Structure 1
């Protein structure tokens, strides 16, 4: 899958303003894109609706990112308009709680969604809560990742790099004329920004998932870029969070937060970061490509750039490997033939070019489907595509996105992020806190094996 993404992205780079990739659908941006250039496959039509039974199903997805929530909600609305016999009840997560915890709560009260955006696939597959992706949907995608030799998801997009979204005005005011080539140069830029009186970085630490952006930047640089199987070794107790490589990364994380992150980070929500950036209260935000549209909508005149933060040796390491995530059918829903067919119709509809192109463009995502998809892309998105296409850039996953032997205990990610928040707030010793991480990790592994 990695090679496929790279080849497709190289093909995209031939045109600097248009995204073209192996995708099963097209996506229009605010200006309309060029989805019309792609012929949509046959989908659900009004002529066939009359012969279909009335059916309803629930859908659950993460809504921490407003752009993604709107894109999915709009697709659900369009599907029901095109299929009046189908009613979809939206169960999207609306709190600041972790998505995994939200899903577990829904399951506990008997409200596990019929169609669910699955991120912790192995956890729910092992628990028997989801079924394999129906065989007649597999051909929509190009070699989707497997867990235990099975495909459980209709991947909604390919993982895209995260990086620094920066105000061009703030950089110009600080006399910054070149992007950093090493991490030390990146820190020098923070000092220049700080000297102008602006907060160098805004962080939405109120939402625990947002903490993962910076945490994983350092873990990828110092751990996963060198050893993608580190998680499995931690489970086997042959490596430790207190080892020098992890301690170095988390020390850099702590120093960055102490010295350059806006002081209100712990009470700032992810959905506030775009407005803080465009208002000039902060100069930079470390996040993903989905933020580009939100920033442009917050202030169409705001000029911003995007780049990956290099490590100390000047190497670029980014999120970019495929992972098993996407739309999954619940085990209970799969027992109902009519409901299953309606869900399959929705999945096909979601990935049709007309709908899928709108979804992709609204969150600046990379398509996952076989069929070609095109949409106009921005200067910032082109940087992300360049990173994916560059074979010299190391592609990795976040701590909780690995699977198989590298799967971490499902509750550990959020616990670890909160531990690091506490470490920063209390200016605590990094090694001491990493020893706490070892103890908790082992306890959770043991608890999950019982």
Structure 2
């Protein structure tokens, strides 16, 4: 594993990990000109250093004129803020994996993708910023779904996943009555984002299902977070906590510890992104894992928050811009790379003609939930995950996660939280 920079030693690490100008260089060798690029990655329990290294090697084997200096963000949750630190120090990497382009593209830091470069993608025009696409839209991730412990459901007398909000509350009450924690959540330490998944799902069912352009309207100042639909979604989250259905111990768990708690049977339901399917299939728990979308009030159709994107963004000022773009495109479209990403991170690849490898039952069930919602017209944006003109203003997502922690801790109600969120929006430069 190559050197990983840490926030704690930022002043030294920035200079040690990435030379000025992104660290790119051009070297004349006996075999011709070799072009170096810097590539910012991140690591999770599913995406370890060995996976990134293997995927990088497949690209450089195909493009031997490109050499890659890999950089690693301190954590998956800090990758966006870390990229901003590198920009501020004049060291923005040439290629960055799964970094939200907002805040970079508007200031001319990123190279856009043209129609020819996007021709292979199923949804080539998602997440535009001022009419241009800056992030390759190669991967769809439902964020979140509700994974559940079938044994604990059966122990509580629950035979099928709930399909309405009332049925979910009834199931949660049955679980609690049996001494079973209904929801396992996270949000501790550097992984504050894990506290927000129930809220994200509720914004999908109660806000985006009715107003898919809610954040576009919020940017225009025609809606507020204190409006009835958003208040309702937030109040449902608060209600789950007040009823004792959300495990407050999650506030001390980082992301890996949260997954471990669910896998060890410390709760019946686990709101998490589709990538959990890879872990559940690779290391099967002692129980069968099922999956369902968070129910709506009437259960008329499944609503699945999802994000399509996740591909690399490219520094417009990269010294070897052509090499950076060729690397990013091949990294995303390489069949073996995508197969590995499916196996390791349960990706739903949004590239035309792509067929995933044979996978396990949790991945297959996850994919089916997504397909059912897609067919029903129930796929909506995932709140906080958007990266286009309909995204949160820079820095506001961190406030969302902090407020989610406050809700789980029982410190704030829906009115307080939504009022604070509106104030944070104005503070970030919004109306």
Higher RCO, 1 vs 2 (CA within 8 Å, ≥6 residues apart): 1
Q: How many residues align?
A: 394
2:112 aligns with 132
**Distance change in 2, residues 1:50/1:319 (3 Å):** farther
Deviation at 1:106, TM superposition (A): 1.7
1:182 matched to 2:164: yes
1:150 aligns with 132
**Distance change in 2, residues 1:184/1:73 (3 Å):** farther
Are the counterparts in 2 of residues 200 and 260 from structure 1 also a CA contact under 8 Å?
yes
1:434 aligns with 418
Deviation at 1:129, TM superposition (A): 1.4
1:376 aligns with 358
Aligned equivalents of 1:149 and 1:248: distance in 2? 32
* Correspondences of 1:219-368 after superposition (within 5 Å): 219-258=203-242, 259-299=244-284, 301-315=286-300, 316-320=302-306, 322=308, 325-333=310-318, 335-336=319-320, 340-341=322-323, 343-345=325-327, 347-368=329-350
Deviation at 1:344, TM superposition (A): 0.8
Is the partner of 2:193 in helix, strand or coil? helix
Is the partner of 1:98 in helix, strand or coil? helix
Q: TM-score, normalised by structure 1?
A: 0.79
**Distance change in 2, residues 1:435/1:343 (3 Å):** closer
Where does structure 1 lack aligned partners over 5 or more consecutive residues?
Answer: 1-48
Deviation at 1:132, TM superposition (A): 1.3
Coordinate RMSD, CA, aligned: 2.7
Where does structure 2 lack aligned partners over 5 or more consecutive residues?
Answer: 1-28
Range with bigger deviation, 106-115 or 142-151: 142-151
1:214 corresponds, among 173, 194, 198, to 198
2:141 corresponds, among 159, 169, 172, to 159
Deviation at 1:118, TM superposition (A): 4.2
Deviation at 1:266, TM superposition (A): 0.8
| 1:14-44, Cα deviation, whole Å (9 max, x unpaired) | xxxxxxxxxxxxxxxxxxxxxxxxxxxxxxx
| 1:241-264, Cα deviation, whole Å (9 max, x unpaired) | 222222211111112234112231
* Correspondences of 1:33-72 after superposition (within 5 Å): 51-63=31-43, 65-69=44-48, 71-72=51-52
Are the counterparts in 2 of residues 122 and 403 from structure 1 also a CA contact under 8 Å?
yes
Is the partner of 1:442 in helix, strand or coil? helix
Deviation at 1:401, TM superposition (A): 4.0
**Distance change in 2, residues 1:287/1:370 (3 Å):** same
Are the counterparts in 2 of residues 353 and 373 from structure 1 also a CA contact under 8 Å?
no
**Distance change in 2, residues 1:271/1:378 (3 Å):** same
Q: TM-score, normalised by structure 2?
A: 0.82
Are the counterparts in 1 of residues 145 and 272 from structure 2 also a CA contact under 8 Å?
yes
1:417 corresponds, among 401, 415, 421, to 401
2:378 aligns with 394
